[in-house]
Amino acid sequence: MSKNNDIQSNNDIQSNTIKKGLEIPIVKSIGLPTLIIAAFFILVMTTAAILKQSLPILISDILRRFGMNGVLVLAMVPAIKSGTGPNFALPLGIICGLLAWTIGIEMGFIGITLILLTVVMATVFAAVTGYFYGKLLNAVKGAEMTIATYTGFSTVALMSLVWLMAPFKSKQMGWMMGEGLRETIKLDGVEAGQIINNFLSFEIFEVKIPTGLLLTFFAFCFLVWIFFRTKTGIAIIAGGSNPEFAAASGIDIDKNRLIANILSTVLGAIGIILYSQSYGFFQLYSGPLMMAFPAVAGVLIGGATASKANISHVIIGTFLFQGLLTASMPVANQLFEGTDLSEIMRVVLQNGIILYALTQVKGGGK
Amino acid sequence: MSDNLLSIKNISKEFYGNRVLKDINMEIKKGEIHALIGENGAGKSTLMNILFGMPMIHETGGYQGSIELEGKEVLFASPHEAMAHGIGMVHQEFMLIPGFTITENIKINRELTNPNLVSKIFGRQYEGLDMKKMNSDARKALDIMSMGIEEYTQVAGLPVGHMQFIEIAREIDKTGIKLLVFDEPTAVLTESETQNLLAAIEKLAAQGIGIIFISHRLEEIMQVSHRVTILRDGEHVVTKDTKDTNVYEIAELMVGRKVSLDRTNSTSRRISDETVLSIKNLEVKMPGEEVKGFNLEVKKGEIIGIGGLAGQGKIGVANGIMGIFPARGQVIFESSPLELNNPRGAIAAGLSFLSEDRKGVGLLLDESIELNTVFTSMQIHKEFLHNIGFVRVMDSRKIRNHTNKMIKDLDIRCTSSLQHAGSLSGGNQQKVCMARALTQKPKLLLVSEPTRGIDIGAKKLILDLLKKLNEEQGMTIVMTSSELAELRSICDRIVIVCDGKVEGILSPDASNAEFGLMMSGTRADSQLGGAE
Amino acid sequence: MKKAKYILSKQMPYLADNIVPIIFIAFTLLGFVLTTNVPFNFFLSELSSRFYRNAFIVLSLVIPVIAGLGLNFGIVIGAMSGQLAIIIVRYLSIEYLHLSGFWELVFCLVLSLPIAAFIGFLTGKLYNKTRGQEMIASLIVGFFANGVYQFILLFATGIIIPVRSSHPMIKPDGVGVRMTVDMGELHYSLQNILKVPFLWAVLLVSVLLLALVISRHLMGKKGHNKDNRVIFFTKVGLSAVLIIYSVFAIVTKSKITSVKDVPAATIIIIGLLCLFTELIMKTKLGQDFRSVGQSQHIAESNGINVDKTRIIAVIMSTVLAAWGQIIYLQDMGTLNVYGAHTQIGMFSVAALLVGGASVHKATVSQALIGTILFNSMFIMSPEIGKAAFGNALLGEYFRTFMVYGIIGMALGIYVWNANRKARITLDPVEVHTQDN
């Protein structure tokens, strides 16, 4: 049957190509996922140009998506460096950020004050959450990724109860009738939409540069980079790279994993604040459920693995992945109307990359 | 011609240019218990791997010579083939599934089955298990070993001695078993369990099964073997009838060799009377190298060696003091008690450790030479850091300079201080470990297996370096090594560890026999066996 | 007091192992206490039809657990295979063949086998490449396969695979399958084969159970110790009570008779699967599953082809999941093409865990009990939400939380235990003299 052949040819070709492809030196140094996504990206951009789509708008969108996802992907770095694998429990940090948003709006703040206050609250919540979650992770060494995923899912489900029962009264957030918060909460009502994006932004060749957003993202990249050059940061790297070595050198690996986890959760909380202000709204209930996966794929596409990641991976990966997703939507819509091909492509590429990374995880088995 | 069950003829083996076996000849008769004895690295394991057709032998160029089983030449390409020809091996590590019954373990992958309708169509895997028959087979095997335990008991929770017997039962249950190899079988057994085992082995031999018995316990060898073969440095030293020899002779032959490393008695060695490290009743739970009550007084300024056979515990001592494996006991360093199970405390007190597990514990393979060099000093002694407010950031320039100095001093061959440690050769990796230990400016250096896996040239370099440190800086060195020769070449005293305890302390120029006897744990005064 | 404490401590390990089913039973009972407007026979009807729908696919999870692959979230892919088969059969049936419901069902089952077997083979290979991380790999591969599935049905259909654009199953512009597919005569095709009134079925099953329990006891399969005797008498007592009750209810025509009829064919198929699973475990293959599940290393060194054994386990699980999904859908009546399979992995795994199974141990009875318990909670939670908080939606969110939480907790406990056992510790003090 034709269906059989489709699946067969896709997968068979894939595995053979991977095997042969890995032998080529350039692939070895850059990494297969990065090359594949880069190739797709170039293909899509070329197609967009051929179809005479508005390149300035496209590039503006790409820059915006790049900036707004950056810190969420950055959150993966402390987790991977500390040896707990990519942070599939990113929803935990995201929920801290969302909680901070709702409380900030409830208290009646608007504009830049709202954002600053939200950031402060989110950081506090995330630090506490990261601490307790970190303790859980220390108890489940070897299966952090699986446990992380389910902790994330359970927390999102639990928080759905909270959103529903929360005694919030703000009209910006509640349903017309009945209790509980709405699913999607807009930020223009509180003058917080795109504030950071627009800060210091300018246009060049009709391309809108969201300066504030990009500056914030790069600032956090710099902070994380500096952190991993401190005494503690280096100890964390050692603990993740070779726990026996670190232990023999007197490092308290568990404590360091906690610190890395707190950092990762805080970045997740700040990440969602940047993300939602850029979109102009944030989503509660099942909104955060699947948000870890694009971030994980993002850092992997940049060349990271489940045990090694650094800032350059974040920047390259986020740019390529978000660039591809942003550009493919209008292109696919123009070529194949009504098929939502770009979304399907996202699911396949994103999860395919994560699967590939999992096959590269060493060790395991009984 | 020969009533030999097994003939090993002129076996030689090379590993990447290193000759590990030279022209080994050995014969086992039917029903003979043939002991195989040798120090660490004598070649026993390699010989057994060849006999057993292990893939790693074929992957590294095969071997020269031939093996004959019952007069016919054989070449085993896999353990499976060896097993099919009736050769069985009882390993040191137990390969038993705790959640299975004794029968299930004995019969694993050799289950007895009955064909049925489905299996006729789909294949043998769907045949039904015949538990009744399997249980009775298991019962038979257990009875040969005189084990009263029920065959349907679960293995989990059984005492270690029982597990050993179940391993044996599994081998003898295999049809057509002709030759059984026992690799250090009594290492984990109690006295009475050992006697049971030896009795069972004799029973098996009486049935015509040939036995190769690898052990370092000379008394057991004297008790139960018919002949004994001694290997040393990959060469066949001698094969003798057991009744024609004694422990003293065996011990001497096991150890004796021309000492290739000269000992230069240096006049600048300053050993004081002061005890710098005092160890009392040290117990360490290091898998495979357990320490069961170690006592020692180390004098300041000396180089003291810790030697012994593999698995006897010598490696566990330093690991226990440095907190790498759980330990118990009393250690006093420079007159203050040293807390055990505390790596940070040991390092902070001034002890530095060069582990035998270079790549595991000793290095961050994915990081640069410079990070590896300064890591411990940075973390414990807070060096190589810029203090900015409450933040401590690494001082790249200082690290670079220091590492480059170390690279020059120790002659580390690398492309730069940024090269990943994982891509260096064994000898250079060892030098990086040394660099890290020295960067900590220790008061006492513990070194384990300093020249393992390193070529001759680099070996000498490292040993000379240790001597220099001791002579020029008066550093006290505790050196653990499997190579007696290197211990004898630079140590002032040599402690021999057997069964997790100090068997004795010898001077480097004590006789080979004394070393041999002590390493095998034989009391020199109990002269067992025949000739004097 | 002391005696009570002692008894409690003896029962502790049993309690700890079975904490999850106990929580769920308590939850269901709580539901009955809190709500007044859930008549028991409505509950039983709902529960029974959910059981018939879901039991098969939960059973498909048992073999992978035994073979050491943990919880196979990849059954989602099996479900998708079953759905592909349904779509193909329905398309062809409407277009050319005009088959009856029964034959459509047969073709679905037959067609899904090679599809699911092939997919299972690929999935098994993936699990072998992600050794040690199988569970998260199975989760992600489900998402991945969903993407491929959507590609096939939304895009390839029409553009690569020629279909008639005016076919009721195809979207109006000729590209892509519609969101829902009407099952037509497939609906209840299995259920309709043979229906038995509820109470008669209960009577029949209880009699069979009693006979089974007594015959097993008489054959002396398990030792005649005190624990087994207690269990034996409990089972006998339970069966007897059910027999008496059902006879009584039939005779007095109580309200219970309004519970839905039992679809005998479905029950028989579920029974066959239970039998199949049990029998497989008594073959060499089953023993290989167990060996590989207990220790891949030891199995390998004894010559068992670990990789191949694992793949066989995954293939079986995927095929059974495909059939299980077909059984589920023929009961539902409409196929939600892009959504029917998405929750099935999570819910089935949760059901298995609720029955008392764990990541490394699962039995047929745990799967069946779990299906019953899980679905009773499922039915009761909106009611509990309404009664306790005045909000049915709350009950539903709570239900979702329980599902994720159960799985997370089971995983966590498993890993924590495994790590605890692997830790090296010093022997207790009396190390030296063993027996002198």
Same-domain pairing of B351 and B433: yes
Query: How does strand B351-354 pair with strand B444-448?
Result: parallel
pLDDT tens digits, C316-353: 999 999 999 999 998 888 899 998 898 888 999 999 99
Same-domain pairing of B193 and B326: no
Number of domains in chain B: 3
Nearest-by-CA chain B residue for A251: B344
Contact C415 A1 (CB under 8 A): no
Contact C408 A151 (CB under 8 A): yes
- Say which range, B397-406, B450-459, C129-138, has the weakest mean pLDDT: B450-459
- Cβ of C301 under 8 Å from any chain B Cβ? yes
Q: What are phi and psi of A230, to 5 degrees?
A: -85, 170
From B127, B148, B174, the end of a domain falls on B174
Residues of A in contact with C136 (CB under 8 A): 88, 145-146, 149, 358
The residue among A222, A242, A249 with the most chain B CBs within 10 A of its CB, best to mutate, is A249
Q: Which residues fall within 8 angstroms of residue B241, CB to CB, at 6 or more apart?
A: B226, B227
> Is residue B259 domain-resident?
no
Tell me what pLDDT residue C430 has: 41
- Say which range, A246-250, B38-42, B178-182, C423-427, has the weakest mean pLDDT: C423-427
Sequence length of chain B is 532
Residue C146 has pLDDT above 60, yes or no: yes
Contact (Cβ atoms closer than 8 angstroms) between residue A307 and residue A243: no
Same-domain pairing of B134 and B198: no
Contact C283 B119 (CB under 8 A): yes
Chain C: nearest CA to A89, how far in angstroms?
A: 12
Tell me what pLDDT residue B532 has: 36
Tell me what pLDDT residue A17 has: 52
Same-domain pairing of B480 and B415: yes
Tell me what pLDDT residue C360 has: 87
Helix A90-106 crosses helix A253-279 at what angle (to 10 degrees)? 50
Q: Considering only CA atoms, which of C361, C349, C341 is closest in space to residue C406?
A: C349
Residues of C in contact with B100 (CB under 8 A): 290-291, 294
Contact A147 C415 (CB under 8 A): yes
Q: Considering only CA atoms, which of B433, B486, B480 is closest in space to residue B279?
A: B480
Residues of A in contact with C130 (CB under 8 A): 355, 358-359, 361, 364
pLDDT band for position C427 (cuts 50, 70, 90): low
Instruction: For residue B371, give the CATH number of its domain.
Output: 3.40.50.300
Same-domain pairing of B315 and B236: no
Residues of B in contact with C286 (CB under 8 A): 129
Tell me what pLDDT residue A204 has: 77
Cα(A247)–Cα(A253) distance, rounded to whole angstroms?
7
Sequence length of chain A is 366
Tokens of B270: 């300053």
Tell me what pLDDT residue A131 has: 96
Contact (Cβ atoms closer than 8 angstroms) between residue B403 and residue B377: no
Q: Considering only CA atoms, which of B473, B468, B423, B413 is closest in space to residue B443?
A: B473
Cα(A220)–Cα(C368) distance, rounded to whole angstroms?
52
DSSP C191: G
Q: The tokens 């240019």 sit on which residue?
A: B17
> Is residue B231 domain-resident?
yes
Helices (H) and strands (E) in chain B, counts: 18, 24
Cα(C256)–Cα(C259) distance, rounded to whole angstroms?
6
Tell me what pLDDT residue A109 has: 85
- Say which range, B250-254, B457-461, C43-47, C256-260, has the weakest mean pLDDT: C256-260
> Quick one: B20 exposed, middle or buried, by C-beta within 10 A (0-12, 13-18, 19+)?
middle
> Is residue B444 domain-resident?
yes
Same-domain pairing of B161 and B301: no
pLDDT tens digits, A106-162: 888 888 888 999 999 999 999 999 999 999 999 888 889 999 999 999 999 999 988
Q: Considering only CA atoms, which of C187, C352, C368 is closest in space to residue C270?
A: C368
**Ramachandran sector of residue B480 (left: φ over 0; alpha: ψ -120 to 50; beta: rest):** beta
Alpha carbon C217 to its chain's center: 28
Q: pLDDT higher for B18 or A235?
A: A235
Cα(A161)–Cα(A169) distance, rounded to whole angstroms?
16
pLDDT band for position C8 (cuts 50, 70, 90): low
- Beta bridge partner(s), residue B38: B231
Could you give the 3-state DSSP secondary structure of residue C65? helix
Mean pLDDT (chain A) is 86
Tokens of C246: 């059902």
- Beta bridge partner(s), residue C52: none
- Per-range mean pLDDT, top range of C49-63, C153-167, C213-227, C416-430: C49-63
Q: The tokens 């744990």 sit on which residue?
A: B521
Tell me what pLDDT residue A4 has: 32
Nearest-by-CA chain C residue for A349: C144
Contact B108 C304 (CB under 8 A): yes
Cα(B229)–Cα(B209) distance, rounded to whole angstroms?
18
Distances (CA, A) of C14 to B99, B100, B249, C6, C17: 18, 21, 60, 14, 5
The residue among C84, C127, C129, C133 with the most chain A CBs within 10 A of its CB, best to mutate, is C133
Cα(B292)–Cα(A329) distance, rounded to whole angstroms?
69
Residues 283-312 of A with CB under 8 A from B: 308
Q: pLDDT higher for B18 or C316?
A: C316
The parent domain of residue B208 ranges over: 1-85+178-245
> Is residue B531 domain-resident?
no
A contact chains, 3+ CB pairs < 8 A: B, C
Tell me what pLDDT residue C434 has: 38
Residue A20 has pLDDT above 80, yes or no: no
Residue A188 has pLDDT above 60, yes or no: yes
Residue B528 has pLDDT above 70, yes or no: no
Tell me what pLDDT residue B190 has: 81
Q: How many CA atoms lie within 13 A of A254 on its CB side?
A: 9
Contact (Cβ atoms closer than 8 angstroms) between residue A197 and residue A277: yes
Nearest-by-CA chain A residue for C130: A359
Cα(B269)–Cα(B301) distance, rounded to whole angstroms?
8
- Cβ of C427 under 8 Å from any chain B Cβ? yes
pLDDT band for position C305 (cuts 50, 70, 90): very high
The residue among C221, C272, C280, C284 with the most chain B CBs within 10 A of its CB, best to mutate, is C284
Tell me what pLDDT residue A323 has: 94
Same-domain pairing of B327 and B443: yes
Same-domain pairing of B197 and B165: no
From B195, B223, B245, the end of a domain falls on B245
Could you give the 3-state DSSP secondary structure of residue C183? coil
Contact B324 A248 (CB under 8 A): yes
pLDDT band for position A13 (cuts 50, 70, 90): very low
Mean pLDDT (chain B) is 87
pLDDT band for position A364 (cuts 50, 70, 90): very low
Q: The tokens 């591969």 sit on which residue?
A: C141
- Cβ of B287 under 8 Å from any chain A Cβ? no
The model carries a pTM of 0.86
Tell me what pLDDT residue B485 has: 85
Mean pLDDT (chain C) is 83
Cα(C373)–Cα(C366) distance, rounded to whole angstroms?
10
> Is residue B530 domain-resident?
no
Cα(A211)–Cα(A74) distance, rounded to whole angstroms?
18
Could you give the 3-state DSSP secondary structure of residue B107? coil
Task: Kindly state the average pLDDT of the residues B134-142.
Answer: 90
Chain B: nearest CA to A304, how far in angstroms?
A: 14
> Is residue B75 domain-resident?
yes
- Cβ of C431 under 8 Å from any chain B Cβ? yes
> Is residue B253 domain-resident?
no
> Is residue B357 domain-resident?
yes
> Quick one: C340 exposed, middle or buried, by C-beta within 10 A (0-12, 13-18, 19+)?
buried
Same-domain pairing of B486 and B387: yes
Task: Kindly state the average pLDDT of the residues A5-19.
Answer: 43
pLDDT tens digits, B184-210: 888 778 888 888 889 889 988 998 899
Tell me what pLDDT residue C4 has: 64
Query: How does strand B33-38 pair with strand A281-283?
Result: unpaired
Tell me what pLDDT residue A190 has: 74
Helix A144-165 crosses helix C392-422 at what angle (to 10 degrees)? 150
From B158, B174, B190, the end of a domain falls on B174
Cα(C28)–Cα(B180) distance, rounded to whole angstroms?
61
Same-domain pairing of B373 and B229: no
Contact B125 C285 (CB under 8 A): yes
Task: Kindly state the average pLDDT of the residues C115-129.
Answer: 96
Contact (Cβ atoms closer than 8 angstroms) between residue C75 and residue C367: no
Same-domain pairing of B227 and B208: yes
Contact A231 B379 (CB under 8 A): yes
- Say which range, A74-83, B116-125, B352-361, B398-407, has the weakest mean pLDDT: B116-125
> Quick one: B2 exposed, middle or buried, by C-beta within 10 A (0-12, 13-18, 19+)?
exposed
Tell me what pLDDT residue A164 has: 84
Tell me what pLDDT residue C257 has: 64
Tell me what pLDDT residue B526 has: 47
Task: Kindly state the average pLDDT of the residues B472-496.
Answer: 91
Same-domain pairing of B303 and B391: yes
Contact C147 A347 (CB under 8 A): yes
C contact chains, 3+ CB pairs < 8 A: A, B
**What percentage of chain C has pLDDT greater than the value 70?**
89
Cα(C33)–Cα(C30) distance, rounded to whole angstroms?
5
Cα(C290)–Cα(C292) distance, rounded to whole angstroms?
5
